[in-house]
């Protein structure tokens, strides 16, 4: 994490668990101290910024996870804290943050 609001841009914290590169980061819309990230592995990780710890892990993708986002739509309309992830396994998955379970899976498109 970098402090980019100052001209010096100093390193604030380092979070390590990903094996290779990190592809995507998003900050929580319901807790200022949490963020989510994905990388070259098949997992989605939730971090607690203040404690510098991984607090949740979502498994289900079969290959690299390209993008993760906290879903504001589900948060406001369904009163759920939902995470969306997309992967090179050609799936999009929605996860329930509170109960650490997959809610929905969209598979790749077919010709039919």
For residue 56, tell me if it sits in a domain: yes
CATH number at residue 44: 2.40.10
What would the 3-class secondary structure string for 13-74 be?
CCCCCCCCCEEEEEECCCCCCEEEEEECCCEEEEEECCCCEEEEEEECCCCCEEEEEEEHHH
Q: Above 90 in pLDDT, residue 106?
A: yes
For residue 8, tell me if it sits in a domain: no
For residue 93, tell me if it sits in a domain: yes
pLDDT tens digits, 37-72: 998 888 898 888 888 899 999 999 999 999 999 887
For residue 6, tell me if it sits in a domain: no
Structural domain including 50 reads 22-106
Residues in contact with 32: Cβ distance below 8 Å, sequence separation at least 6, in sequence order: none
For residue 89, tell me if it sits in a domain: yes
For residue 112, tell me if it sits in a domain: no
Number of domains forming the structure of the chain: 1
């Amino acid at each position: 994490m970098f402090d980019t609001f100052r001209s010096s841009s100093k390193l604030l914290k380092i979070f390590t668990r990903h094996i290779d590169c990190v592809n995507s980061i998003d900050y929580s819309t319901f807790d200022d101290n949490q963020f989510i990230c994905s990388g070259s592995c098949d997992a989605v990780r939730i971090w607690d910024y203040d404690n510098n710890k991984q607090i949740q892990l979502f498994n289900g993708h079969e290959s690299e996870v390209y993008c993760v986002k906290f879903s504001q739509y589900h948060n406001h309309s369904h009163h759920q804290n939902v995470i969306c992830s997309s992967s090179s396994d050609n799936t999009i998955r929605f996860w329930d943050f509170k109960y650490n379970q997959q809610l929905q899976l969209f598979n790749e498109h077919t010709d039919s």
